[in-house]
Each structure stands twice: as C-alpha cells, then as structure tokens.
Chain A
Amino acid sequence: DAGITQSPRHKVTETGTPVTLRCHQTENHRYMYWYRQDPGHGLRLIHYSYGVKDTDKGEVSDGYSVSRSKTEDFLLTLESATSSQTSVYFCAISDTSNTGELFFGEGSRLTVL
C-alpha cells in the first residue's frame, strides 16, 4: 500500500482559491491517473499521464490542470476552486501492460466552501 501516496488527505478551502493535490508513487509505473468520485456519478477520469511531461484530458477535465515533471509525481491543480469541485479525488497507477488494472491511492477529500 505504500507504493502510492496522496497528499493532503483532507482539505477544506474557499471558493476561488487555488488547490494542488499531489500523488507520489514508488512503483516506477508509467501511467498515472486522477479520478474524482461523487455520489450518483461513480469514478470519473479527470486527467491522465503516460510519462514525464506527457498528459492528456479525461472526461471531466474542465477547471483542472495537471503536471508530471518526474515519473513518481503527478500533481492535480484546481486553479480557482468551485463548490462543484467538492469531491473525493483518487490517484491511480498502472504499468505498461495493463488495460484497466489500476492501483489506487488512499484518496484526498476536498471540500470547497
């Protein structure tokens, strides 16, 4: 379980403030993903990365940006948080041979007031 960690685990912030969530992995996996999970919607992909400086948008990318400057770190940034971004955010990783076999971090619960 220590192969992937997220920080912070809990955060409360105000509308309009920037927020950065960090995902750190020690597995040297190529693929990293950010999901959000909301009641009634299930898990939805925000952004993903296939390698250093190689990122792309997922299903619900509006209002989010990502960066991956090192293999082990994948950052998710909310430039100006809104109440609709209150959610639980999960980071996930997979190696090059997987097509959906993901290993998830513990999650980060974000509340935007």
Chain B
Amino acid sequence: QKEVEQNSGPLSVPEGAIASLNCTYSDRGSQSFFWYRQYSGKSPELIMSIYSNGDKEDGRFTAQLNKASQYVSLLIRDSQPSDSATYLCAVNSYSGGGADGLTFGKGTHLIIQP
C-alpha cells in the first residue's frame, strides 16, 4: 500500500510569514510529485509539480524534493489570507502515461492569520 503522509493541521501562520508544508511518501520508486490547493467546498487546483531533486520556484511558492529522504515540501513566502486552504500532496509511482498511479495525502489545513 503506497502511502502519502501529511500533518492534518491546522497550521496557523501569521500574514507575511513563510508557511512550510511537509509531505512524506512510502514508495521509493515514486517519479513525480504535486501540490494541490483546495479551498473549502471547492475542487483541488494544481499549484506546483516537481520531478527532480532540489527546489522549484514559482512566484511565492517553492517546492522542495528530496528523494533520498522521501520528502516533499511546499514553502509559501509572504503568506496572504487568500492562501488559507487545504494543501494536498500527491505522488505518482508511474514513470509515464496517466495519473492512475497517483496517491494523494489527506491534506494540511493552512490558516493565515491577518
């Protein structure tokens, strides 16, 4: 059973600070890694994907991947109240094709306090 673990939170961060969200996964052969944001009552929305070790930056978001430690993280700089949402980590064990090998974590609830 492939597992993706996230702290459910809530994680409370002051506005303007850095929010750090963490995810660990069990399948060492996992190939691709994703972060989705889900506002309450809405559908998940892809915000970051990362495929190789290291950091990937996109605006205020940075995804970090360490395959040796089986660890993925998402940093949100200059956190805004609009960043308050549940963040889902997803890991794909397949090297190509579709997303049927995708396993989602249960999500971390992030609250940005004004």
Which A residues are closer than 8 A to B by beta carbons? 30-31, 33, 40-45, 48, 50, 56, 58, 90, 92, 94, 98-107
Contact = CB atoms under 8 A, between A and B. Distances in A.
For A48, A100, A102, A106, which residue has the most chain B Cβ atoms within 10 angstroms? A100
Contacts of B32: 99-100
Contacts of A98: 98-99
B49 A90 contact: no
A23 B107 CA distance: 25
Nearest to B102: A100
Nearest to A98: B99
Contacts of B94: 99
B92 interface: yes
B45 interface: yes
A31 B33 CA distance: 18
B31 interface: yes
Contacts of A94: 98-99
Interface of B: 31-34, 36, 42-46, 49, 88, 90-92, 94-102, 104-107
Nearest to A90: B43
Nearest to A109: B41
Nearest to A58: B100
5 contacts: A30-B98, A43-B88, A44-B104, A100-B102, A106-B42
A42 B107 contact: yes
Given A45-B102, A50-B98, A103 B46 contact: yes
Nearest to A38: B106
Given A31-B98, A45-B100, A100 B34 contact: yes
